[in-house]
């Protein structure tokens, strides 16, 4: 069976088309990502902006062309933080309806399971615990578990876009704005560190655009095989945060090949990862190129009769 799994995030939309069955994913047929910035201004206005919805429609139209070209048995699109926070979410659902792409908001009860399953697909064995850190645009998910059980999960409102809109007014970044960002992230992390340290875990797996972008910058370009499994250390993350504080968005794009829709929020995303390693006293985290879209694909496959 072929399914199309869409992850409609605050900053990025992703479309994964796979072949598989109820036992799992057998083959990846297409994997696309587009920075849409759906969550533009949502933290302040509580609404999707018209221009953000235009970008969403354009992106989903392109995704649908790829879906139609390959031909699938099922389509499942799931939205997370941004769609939960807005008063005009029905406008996004209407776009999906127009394009015959059914959109669901991931229920809180299922979000941890779907995110963890996607991020750890092919990585888990036995009872060995891992922590998944999924840095989104609006929120960041922290999940502790293994192949049999999720011990703890929490979504914190410290996404890369949300933090940037809240604290950062200029690039290069002012010292007091960096201090405010770090203090806010630390305060949020303090609410979950004890829960995460309640169980021993072998490694931290970081997913989504921020860790993948940093790994690609270290490698001199994005190569999925090299990015997947790349280790980001405390020292490396601190150096990137220091560097982003001192550079303009234009320099980040030119010197480090960051995407325009990622370059302006990368400091906040890197800060979340760096402060998390500091708070948990861990030396490094592993980058995974997988994530929610893989969990959505597994969910879609499980629903096929």
My answer on whether 177 and 85 are in the same domain is: no
| Distance (Å, whole) CA 212 – CA 91 | 30
Residue 146 has pLDDT above 70, yes or no: yes
Residue 212 · residue 222 · CB < 8 Å: yes
Same-domain status, 195 and 280: yes
In a domain, 28, yes or no: yes
pLDDT of residue 271: 98
297 has pLDDT over 90: yes
Q: What is the CATH number of the domain that holds 244?
A: 3.30.420.150
| Whether pLDDT at 151 is above 70 | yes
Residues 53 and 175 in one domain: no
* pLDDT digit string, tens, across residues 14-50: 999 999 999 999 999 999 999 999 989 888 889 999 9
Indicate whether 297 and 223 sit together in one domain: no
Q: Are strands 2-8 and 12-21 parallel, antiparallel or unpaired?
A: antiparallel
Same domain, 163 and 30: no
So what's the pLDDT on residue 245? 97
Specify the number of domains making up the chain.
Answer: 2
Question: Mind listing the pLDDT tens digit for each residue in 172-211?
Answer: 999 999 999 999 999 999 999 999 988 999 999 999 999 9
Q: What is the DSSP string of the chain?
A: -EEEEEEE-SSEEEEEEEEEETTEEEEEEEEEEEE--TTTTHHHHSS--HHHHHHHHHHHHHHHHHHHHH--SEEEEEE-HHHHH-S-HHHHHHHHHHTT--EEEPPHHHHHHHHHHHHTTTT--TT--EEEEEE-SS-EEEEEE-SS-EEEEEEES--HHHHHHHH--SSSPPHHHHHHHHHHHHHHHTTTHHHHTTS--SEEEEESHHHHHHHHHHHTS--HHHHTT-EEEHHHHHHHHHHHHHS-HHHHHHHH---HHHHTTHHHHHHHHHHHHHHHT-SEEEE-S--HHHHHHHHHHHH--
* Domain shared by 82 and 21, yes or no: yes
Say if 114 falls within a structural domain. no
Q: Does residue 118 form part of some domain?
A: no
- Does 59 share its domain with 99? yes
Query: Mean pLDDT, to the nearest integer, of 292-302?
Result: 94
Q: What is the pLDDT of residue 82?
A: 65
Say what the pLDDT of residue 75 is.
97
Average pLDDT over residues 238-248: 97
Domain that holds residue 144: 125-287
Give the tens place of pLDDT for each residue, 61-118. 999 999 999 999 999 999 976 677 789 999 999 999 999 999 998 877 788 899 899 9
Which pLDDT band, with edges at 50, 70 and 90, does 153 fall under? Answer: very high
- Please indicate, yes or no, whether residues 166 and 80 belong to a single structural domain of this protein: no
- Count of positions (residues) in the chain: 305
Residues 83 and 198 in one domain: no
Is a pLDDT exceeding 80 seen at residue 140?
Answer: yes
* Whether residues 282 and 299 fall in one domain: no
Q: Are residues 199 and 283 in the same domain?
A: yes
Q: Are 231 and 284 in contact (CB under 8 A)?
A: yes
Comparing C-alpha atoms, which of 95, 93, 115, 117 is closest to residue 105? 93
CATH number at residue 49: 3.30.420.40
Predicted confidence band of residue 232 (pLDDT cuts 50, 70, 90): very high
For residue 247, is it within any domain? yes
Residue 220: the pLDDT is: 92
pLDDT tier at 284 (50, 70, 90 boundaries)?
A: very high
Instruction: Indicate if 142 and 266 belong to the same structural domain.
Output: yes
239 pLDDT band (50/70/90 cuts)? very high
pLDDT at position 29 is 98
Q: What is the pLDDT of residue 262?
A: 93
Report the mean per-residue pLDDT for the chain.
93
174 exposure class (CB count in 10 Å sphere: 0-12, 13-18, 19+): middle
């Amino acid at each position: 069976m072929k399914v199309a799994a869409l992850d409609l995030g605050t900053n990025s939309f992703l479309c994964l088309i796979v072949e598989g069955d109820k036992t799992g994913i057998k083959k990846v047929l297409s994997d696309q990502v587009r920075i849409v910035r759906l969550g533009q201004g949502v933290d302040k206005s509580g609404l999707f902006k018209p221009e953000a919805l235009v970008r969403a429609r354009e992106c989903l139209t392109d995704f649908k062309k790829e879906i139609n070209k390959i031909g699938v048995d099922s389509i499942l699109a799931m939205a997370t933080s941004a769609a939960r926070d807005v008063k005009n979410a029905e406008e996004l659902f209407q776009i999906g309806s127009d394009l015959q792409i059914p959109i669901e908001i991931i229920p809180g009860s299922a979000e941890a399971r779907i995110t963890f399953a996607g991020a750890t697909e092919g990585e888990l064995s036995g009872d060995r615990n891992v922590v998944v850190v999924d840095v989104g645009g609006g929120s960041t998910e922290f999940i502790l578990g293994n192949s049999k059980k999720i011990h703890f999960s929490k979504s914190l409102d410290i996404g890369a876009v949300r933090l940037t809109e809240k604290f950062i007014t200029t690039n290069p970044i002012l010292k007091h704005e960096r201090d405010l960002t770090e203090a806010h992230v630390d305060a949020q992390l303090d609410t979950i560190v004890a829960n995460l340290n309640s169980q021993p875990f072998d490694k931290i797996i970081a997913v989504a655009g921020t860790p993948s972008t940093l790994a690609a910058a270290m490698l001199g370009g994005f190569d999925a095989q090299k990015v997947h499994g790349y280790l980001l250390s405390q020292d490396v993350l601190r150096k990137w945060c220091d560097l982003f504080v001192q550079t303009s968005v234009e320099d980040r794009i030119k010197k480090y090949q960051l995407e325009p829709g990622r370059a302006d929020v990368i400091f906040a995303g890197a800060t979340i990862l760096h402060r998390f390693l500091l708070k948990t006293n861990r030396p490094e985290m592993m980058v995974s190129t997988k994530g929610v879209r893989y969990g959505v694909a597994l969910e879609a496959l499980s629903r096929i009769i």
